[in-house]
Chain A
Amino acid sequence: MNFDFSDDQKQLRDQARKFLTEKCSPKAVRVVLDGKALYDKELWKGLAEMGFLGVAIPEEFGGAGAGHLELCVIAEEMGRANAPVPFSSTVYLAAEALLLAGSDAQKKKWLPAIASGEAIGTLALFEGKGNPSPKNVKLAAAGGVLNGVKKPVADGAIANFAVVAARTGSGGRDSDISLFLVDLRAGGVEVKNLTNLDPTRGQAEITFKDCKAEPLGAAGEGWSILTQVLDRAAVLCAFEQVGGSDRALEIGRDYALDRIAFGRQIGSFQAVKHMLADMYVSATLARSNSYYGAWALSTNASELPEAAAAARISATQAFQHCAKNNIQVHGGMGFTWEFDCHMYYRRANAMALGLGSLSYWEDQLIDRMRKKNAA
């Protein structure tokens, strides 16, 4: 059994960590946090140069042609660094949708642009409150044009193109949904940036008015493709969440070693130690579940749906737990804008909703476990 990343993959992780430590300090993250930029353009460019944006994109489409395990280790580092770039929407959602369902021409047009950092992509799925469901897709596609409103769309204000879920049938069934590819810089698109929990990753409202769109994948296959895209993204996001959990735990641990109260390090009090130990437990469970997700993703195993849901739940819980208690360990200082704790708290809670809420994925996991047990 070799349930671990290879030495090469670990080396890639170290390389990514070194790069991000240098180029993505908390100070750099704060430029976006404070609203002075929509994302860190320099960092995005650097990530492209390092080959990180196209790590899982095949060479024929301008990528490094490595694989999903390589992407997982980079994702972990992106989460650790709280990177203020549209990595997840572009790489986990848009690129994966193209890889799964794109025509050769579509792949040729967008994948090299993603890998080189020229194009930012996203997935336009949600329409207000609610979780992923064909019933919640109202935006209509007819005669090659889209009409409707999507929100929130992650990184919508900076994206060049979007994969849009639209209704092509009359019911709320899976087969009534199709996917479309939209150039957001063309006509018929109106984008409004929205305030959100985590300003280091924007959310937008996009209105489509008789907007020209080309189909992505076969008509009526949209929901089936989306489900696969969300499963893949769930594993990749889980690695970001694992990275974030570890970092929040480290920051809390370091503060507990540094801060003196009642004449001793606060990390010597059991109330604080036990809180940190519980954070370690959550982070460890999340990491192990995510490794299983990575294995299933990289081998395209039939276990992927269940593994992805488990990784998603475990990593969401861990990141929320670690980010929350990191603030608690800090006491009052943790509640200041100046300390970094709230950046992880914001990211953890925003990520918990991005691909569908925790309860949505809990539902998914139970359904998928039942299906397996019945088989």
Chain B
Amino acid sequence: MNFDDTPQEAAFRETARKWVASNAPKEFEQELSKSSLGRIRLAKHDIVDVGKAWQKKKAEGGWACLHWPKEYGGRGATPIERVIWQQEEGVYGKLTQPFQIGEGMCGPTVMAWGSEDAKRRHLPKLASGEEIWCQLFSEPSAGSDVAGLRTRAEKKGDSWVVNGQKIWTSGAHYSDFGLLIARTDPNVPKHKGLTMFFLDMKSPGVEVRPIKQANGMQEFNEVYFTDVVIPDSQRLGAVGEGWSVSLTTLMNERMSIGSRLATGVPEMFEFCSNLMLEDGLAIDDPAVRSKLASWAVKSSGLKYTSYRAISSLSKGERPGPENSIGKLVSGMMLQDIATYAMDLQGAAGVLTGTDEETAQGQFQQMLLSSPSMRIAGGTDEILRNIIAERVLGLPGDIRVDKDVPYNKIPTKGR
């Protein structure tokens, strides 16, 4: 048992470290290291512009999507090299946020199901950040039950005509392409009538509308499709095979090992170490210590769980299912920590300004944003189902709509 690199890994790390040292945009280092709770904002620059510049530089140096084959814009690196790169990229990795859905989900789907032409045309530009991709799966009536989606694609000659609405689309407003799943046959059970496409987000009939979120910010969008024409050459997989194709996408989402989720624990520890209560420092209070300790061991537990997965990668093995717990644990923890930090602030906790006495309002921000951590990318409940079914081998839910043709499923307001 050790934390050491193998000689090859150490050599790779050295190369990566040198490259980052001489190429990273150091002027943003401080700002990036401060934005720790999933919210990245640069005071004077647009994160997308700065991100694109960094991604382009990485692509030129052979450090973009490095686990992809070279001919598609990658480096042909091993999974463990990818993890080492992420560690060495450090805070600058936060600049890759606009590309994560493309790199982590859309790209792998195109790689697995796209034609050779499509791969050569799209993957290198996706890798270099020149073109940004978004994922168009969720709908107002199809969130956890995504296979119940309604957006229709109808074949007209060599093309498909799409009508419907998608929601929760991160980055749709700055994306160039989208990965779209739509219903092509409503007369068969819901999982069997779906087909996957990709499309140019500038196509006529595509309208992107930002959603104002519960925390007051706008990061997600609704995307409306009105008679949008998609050539059949932009279909991924067979007609009716969309569900299987989507599983490639979702599986890749869950394989993203090494991406560290914010837990709020370091912030909370620092806050409690400095907060003066009536009887002394918060961190000397037994109740505070007990809660802090419980959170600290969850956070370290997640860290070492990812180390176990990295070790499997290093040995060339497939990581076990342990990593599926990450978002479930950290999402709830963020919310609990935020609530408790404000409790310690007492009456002033209600204020959302950036005062010293409320720790610059970071926990108030965390409180308002944390509900989305427990929903996006699989709700806590869906994640528990996944653990129960795929890890523990418990039976799937009894699905009353499983063998019913989609257009016969009872619904509200279709």
Contact = CB atoms under 8 A, between A and B. Distances in A.
A363 B289 contact: yes
Contacts of B388: 267, 273-274, 276-277, 280
Interface centre among A265, A285, A317, by most B CB within 10 Å?
A285
B248 interface: no
B350 to A, nearest CB: 28
Given A1-B3, A289-B300, A273 B385 contact: yes
A267 B394 contact: yes
Interface in A1-49: 1-6
Contacts of A328: none
A153 B104 CA distance: 55
Nearest to B284: A366
Nearest to A315: B297
A314 B394 contact: no
Contacts of A363: 286, 289, 293
Contacts of A281: 325, 328-329, 387
Interface string B297-335: 110111111011011101100000010010011000000
Interface stretch (A77-85, A213-221, A291-299): A291-299
B384 interface: yes
Interface in A153-190: none
Interface centre among A272, A284, A314, A317, by most B CB within 10 Å?
A284
Contacts of B3: 1, 3, 295
B395 A268 contact: yes
B147 interface: no
B233 interface: no
Interface in A80-109: none
Interface in A345-375: 359, 361-363, 365-366, 369-370, 373
B296 interface: yes
A302 interface: no
Contacts of B389: 273
A256 B290 contact: no
Contacts of A286: 301
B273 interface: yes
Interface residues of B, number: 50
A300 interface: no
B297 A3 contact: no
A2 B1 contact: yes
Contact of B392 (A6, A280, A289, A298): A280
A288 B296 contact: no
B385 A270 contact: yes
A204 B328 CA distance: 43
B4 interface: yes
A257 B328 CA distance: 24
A358 to B, nearest CB: 8
A206 interface: no
Secondary structure type dominating chain A contacts: helix
Interface string A228-254: 000000000000000000000100010
Contact of B297 (A270, A276, A291, A313): A313
B301 A2 contact: no
A366 B288 CA distance: 10
A5 B394 CA distance: 28
Nearest to B2: A2
Contacts of B385: 270, 273-274, 277
Contacts of A323: none
Nearest to B315: A2
A313 B289 CA distance: 13
Given A268-B397, A281-B387, A363-B289, A288 B273 contact: no
Interface string B331-367: 0000000000000000000000000000000000000
Nearest to B301: A285
B393 interface: yes
Contacts of A314: 297-298, 300-301
A69 interface: yes
A274 B281 CA distance: 38
B305 A277 contact: no
B292 interface: yes
B293 A291 contact: no
Contact of A292 (B273, B298, B300, B315): B300
Nearest to B305: A288
Contacts of B395: 257, 264-265, 267-268
Given A277-B388, A294-B1, A295-B1, A365 B297 contact: yes
B310 A3 contact: yes
B5 A1 contact: yes
A3 B307 contact: yes
A4 B308 contact: yes
Interface string B1-37: 1111100010000000000000000000000000000
A111 interface: no
A190 to B, nearest CB: 37
Contacts of A210: none
A268 B396 contact: yes
A234 B144 CA distance: 42
Nearest to B386: A277
Given A280-B387, A294-B1, A273 B394 contact: yes
Given A274-B388, A284-B325, A298-B1, A359 B286 contact: yes
A289 B303 CA distance: 9
A292 B294 contact: no
A346 B315 CA distance: 39
B269 interface: yes
Contacts of A1: 2-5, 9, 307, 310-311, 314
B2 A291 contact: no
A309 to B, nearest CB: 8
B286 A3 contact: no
Interface centre among B5, B293, B398, by most A CB within 10 Å?
B293
Nearest to A6: B1
B233 to A, nearest CB: 42
B85 to A, nearest CB: 14
Contacts of B2: 1-3, 295, 299
A295 B294 CA distance: 21
A133 B288 CA distance: 21
A354 B286 CA distance: 21
A366 B1 contact: no
A373 B273 contact: yes
Nearest to B269: A369
Contacts of B322: 284, 288
A246 to B, nearest CB: 11
B283 interface: yes
A310 interface: yes
B398 A264 contact: yes
A7 to B, nearest CB: 10
Interface string A308-346: 011001100100000000000000000000000000000
24 contacts: A2-B314, A249-B392, A257-B395, A265-B395, A267-B388, A270-B397, A273-B384, A273-B388, A273-B394, A274-B381, A277-B384, A280-B325, A288-B304, A288-B305, A295-B2, A295-B3, A310-B297, A313-B297, A314-B301, A366-B283, A366-B289, A366-B296, A369-B269, A373-B269
Sorted nearest first, the 9 A-B pairs with minimum C-beta distance are A285-B301, A362-B293, A273-B388, A288-B304, A277-B384, A277-B387, A267-B394, A288-B305, A268-B395
